[in-house]
Amino acid sequence: MASPSTATQNNENSKKVSVRQAKREMMMKLPGYLEAVKRVHRERGVILPRDYDYSYTLREALCIYKYRFLQQEIKASKILCQSLLSANASRFSTAMKARQSTQNSYQRMSTKK
């Protein structure tokens, strides 16, 4: 015969499971819930945990969108760096050409004397 503490613990566990099951069934009935899960998991087969709830889905979606946003920021910063480097390089080459032309003009002026 099971002890009273074991029976109480089993009863509490069954209550937790039934609450989770009821919560999951309620979430499944929400409009757009399954579409959101599919969107997050990109149509791949997923085994949902028993305690999979709406907040978990939102957290996961936020992590995915944050990752995508960071990737876009990285791409934008790379493009910006490349454009800045090319602008500086063109300015540098323009300055070198100007310096060369002034040196050439000085040489011409010194040879004319």
Question: What's the rounded Cα separation, in Å, for the pair 37 and 40?
Answer: 5
Q: Where are the domains of the chain?
A: 1-52
pTM for the whole structure: 0.29
Average pLDDT for 78-88? 71
44-49: long-range contacts at Cβ-Cβ below 8 A with a sequence spacing of 24 or more? 48/24
- The gap from C-alpha 105 to its chain's centroid, in whole angstroms, comes to 56
What letter does residue 110 receive in the DSSP assignment?
Answer: H
Burial group, residue 36, by CB count within 10 angstroms (0-12, 13-18, 19+): middle
pLDDT of residue 100: 72
pLDDT, tens digit, 9 for 90 and up, residues 28-80? 666 666 666 666 666 555 555 555 555 666 677 777 777 778 888 888 877 77
pLDDT of residue 94: 65
